[in-house]
Amino acid sequence: MRALVYHGPKNVSVDDVADARIERPTDALIKITTTNICGSDLHMYEGRTDVEEGKVLGHENMGEVIEVGDGVDRVKVGDMVCLPFNIGCGFCKNCESGLTGFCLTANPGNAGAAYGYADMGPYNGGQAELLRVPYADWNALVLPEDAREKEKDYVMLSDILPTGYHGTELAQVGIGDSVVIWGAGPVGLMAAMSARLRGADQIFVVDRQPDRLKLVETIGATPVDDSSGGAVDEILQATRGEGADRGVEAVGYQAHDHHGHEAPGLTINSLIAAVRPTGRIGVVGVFVPQDPNAEDDLAKKGKFGFDFGTFFFKGQSMGTGQCNTKQYNRQLRNLIHRDKLNPGLIVSHELNLDQAAEGYRNFDDRLDGWTKVLLHP
């Protein structure tokens, strides 16, 4: 089969590799119809993780079931399915508690597994023609009859839509709340859409990319341009000096200040400043335990200066961690089916698989208008 293979920093190509296949009775085999390039894929693309060369990337996947193992009961050949990026077993302590992003079985010795991602198990990703889905009855979300018609919307259920929603859940966004979201990338935009869904009164999204800030307006939120570094003051002014009730971090450890210098603690510390006393912050941007290619010694150990004194003095609280996709994807699927959510509106480019390397390059270079890239094998 053809697949997008990682060969080293900024070196990916579509190669012929061994076909994905059924390996265990609980597996299903998927013919991929849409697979996305995620912002977190760029951490690997840029060499900021220890992903091994030869890995097939891609954790945002959707397709048609073409084969199932003898132990698969619910999922049928011909079903259109979307796959949560995190692979769960369905029976460990965490999966049974709904914490499927931290499965204790699928990636032995670690909490959490995923398709085509560094340190998340031996699983290849879905930026390919075929994908093996472990524990298929548990992991595959079967889609309604309009799956192909709304493919751009449903494929977002694999990661960014539930992750954006998870950010608002961690922040405990409620009716009438004001919310500030740092980062207008795909996850930040989905967090804004989710905050609106949850009844937020004011929704601010902070970024410096003009094309992303334009998208903020299309989903009914207020864009805040931080190109001069004044976003915190702008949020405070817009909230009568109190600060926003809730905050969501949707950037992660490769954040940069307005001068272009990498500053992994910038977004969280900015949220501490911009969120009101006793407010709550949800962190869904990716942070890692080690970052050997970071610019300073502290960041290389996955650490940064945290404004804990202000955080403590303001009585704030914080929730963190990757999304437990299965907590939300069924409900969000139903809203898409009933035309109450349209996350596909952020899609900027749809490419065939052979154009994947070009898609990575342009998305990584933050070229104007490259906001969300879909691949169709």
Rounded Cα distance between 1 and 341, Å, is 34
- C-alpha distances in angstroms, 353 versus 61, 91, 130, 293, 310? 13, 35, 12, 29, 48
Residue 294: per-residue pLDDT: 86
The pLDDT tens digits of the residues spanning 160-192 come to 999 999 999 999 999 999 999 999 999 999 999
Rounded Cα distance between 287 and 222, Å, is 26
For residues 298-326, give the mean pLDDT: 96
Higher pLDDT, 293 or 64: 64
Residue 165: per-residue pLDDT: 98
Report the amino acid identity of residue 258: H
For residues 47-57, give the mean pLDDT: 94
For residues 31-56, give the mean pLDDT: 95
Rounded Cα distance between 226 and 264, Å, is 16
The pLDDT tens digits of the residues spanning 10-38 come to 999 999 999 999 999 999 999 999 999 99
Asked if 128 and 3 touch (Cβ cutoff 8 Å), the reply is yes
Residue 291: per-residue pLDDT: 85
Residue 292: per-residue pLDDT: 83
Rounded Cα distance between 300 and 289, Å, is 9
Residue 295: per-residue pLDDT: 83
Residue 293: per-residue pLDDT: 82
Cβ atoms < 10 Å from Cβ of 70: 10
CA dihedral defined by 189, 193, 199, 201, rounded to 10 degrees?
A: 40
List the strands of the sheet with 244-249, edge to edge. Answer: 222-225, 202-207, 178-182, 244-249, 275-283, 317-320
Classified as helix, coil or strand, 190 is: helix
Task: Report the half-sphere exposure of 80 (CA within 13 A, side-chain side).
Answer: 15
- C-alpha distances in angstroms, 252 versus 13, 106, 118, 248? 26, 25, 16, 11
Residue 353: per-residue pLDDT: 97
Residue 28: per-residue pLDDT: 98
Residue among 117, 120, 125 at smallest CA distance from 107: 120
The pLDDT tens digits of the residues spanning 109-138 come to 999 999 999 999 999 999 999 999 999 999
The pLDDT tens digits of the residues spanning 207-233 come to 999 999 999 999 999 999 999 999 999
- pTM greater than 0.95 (yes/no): yes
